[in-house]
Amino acid sequence: MDDYDREPRVHGRRRFLATTAALGLGTLAGCTGGGDDETTTTTTEDTDDGGTVEQIGSGRSPFGDRTIAGGVSITEMPDLSGELTLYSGRGKALVNELVSFLEDYYEDFTIRPRYNSAAELVNQIQTEGQNSPADVFFSVNAGSLGALKDAGRTQDLPTEVLDLVRDEFHDPDGQWTGTSGRARTVPFNTDEFSESDIPDDIMEFPKTEAFRDNIGWAPTYSSFQAFITAMRVLEGDEATKEWLQGMQDLGVTEFKDEFLVSQAVADGEITAGFANHYYIQRILAGRPNAPLKTAFTSGDAGSIFNVAGALVLDTADDSELAANFVRHLLSAEAQDYFARTTFEYPLVSGVDPIGELPSIDELNPPEGLDLTQLSDLEGTVRLLREVGVL
């Protein structure tokens, strides 16, 4: 029988942790915090077979109720059984609830997660070589996934996994798939600017005097470095160096991460910044009246749509289990979790983002940029050091 034709099932292993909330495909209930720490409530919803399925994470979005109409439910996916070592470049505070849920949902499934930065884990996998215990790598960006592909450390993902997302969101050679999306944006303070004041060309920012000593970035952050990598691909290294130097001459303020950039904009410490879209949404979730809004550039490095994603490593003990775990990251429930808890763009059709955001199809990313081109992060770090940003 095909895996997708199975009857829905209900599992009973430790049903369920107090920190795991109900998982369902109907209207959701609960709330999340505004930063990296999410609060969780427990709710349940009856299923047709008289049992209860579970909704991952906090329930009702602070932006309102939602109904999930698309995607493939976990209940229709192959069972997970055995042990799996997960190297996660995604932060524990953001995804451990999802990881724990999947482990608890299946009676005979154990996940051994190791959390670190994506760059550090790529280096670790390379250093460990064929002795690496890692089965699956879960990354915050396509660049890290591409680096492992380029190093020949990946396995083909099954077609039934790749087909869950659009072609542009997975590797054309089938080595990795995106699991959620992140759009580059410009958070701005609405007490200081209107949306029309924000340039729609990223290369114009160093020339905009209104931002002098009043704009922020987080150059050590992987998403920022992926953005600069895209600029190198699209504009060339020399133009990118000029842009970086121009921003420094403008008096850009450095922050540790892009949540802090967005928070500083909301607090009026600076008037604008560079950040992934979800940081603005997290702040607005806790402070809906904050003078903070999201602007987008168009067709350039400042408007790239990057993905968090996953791949199966060549050291995986059970390739089928590893691939099916990746498939579960694309389940309707997991996609809804990314929307509500991390405020990212779901990549599966029918699961919508949360907040005042355009749809994926309404964004204007640069034409001709393949996410696999963002793998040269080492070259970007060298360039950032060369101009004194790092």
Q: What confidence score (pLDDT) does residue 374 get? A: 84
* Token pair for 276: 């992934």
Q: What confidence score (pLDDT) does residue 56 get? A: 55
* Token pair for 217: 């970035």
Q: What confidence score (pLDDT) does residue 259 get? A: 95
Identify whether the C-beta of residue 258 lies closer than 8 Å to the C-beta of residue 141.
no
Q: What confidence score (pLDDT) does residue 43 get? A: 29
Q: What confidence score (pLDDT) does residue 66 get? A: 55
Q: What confidence score (pLDDT) does residue 71 get? A: 87
pTM of the model: 0.80
Query: Rounded to an integer, what distance in angstroms lies between the CA atom of residue 16 and that of residue 278?
Result: 29
Torsion (CA) 142, 37, 214, 208 in degrees, nearest 10: 30
- Kind and range of the H or E element at 228? helix 222-235
Q: How many CB atoms lie within 10 A of CB 37?
A: 9
Mean pLDDT by 10 residues, the chain (390 residues): 32 33 29 29 29 43 56 93 97 92 94 94 97 97 91 97 94 96 97 97 98 97 91 97 98 96 98 96 93 96 95 97 98 92 90 84 90 86 96
286 contact partners, CB below 8 Å, separation of at least 6: 33, 34, 35, 62
Identify whether the C-beta of residue 224 lies closer than 8 Å to the C-beta of residue 370.
no
Closest CA to 332 of 32, 2, 8, 1: 8
Torsion (CA) 377, 378, 382, 384 in degrees, nearest 10: 20
Q: How many CB atoms lie within 10 A of CB 181?
A: 23
- Indicate the DSSP class of residue 184: E
Q: What confidence score (pLDDT) does residue 27 get? A: 26
Residue carrying structure tokens 């160096």: 241
Q: Is the dihedral of CA 260, 263, 267, 269 positive or negative?
A: positive
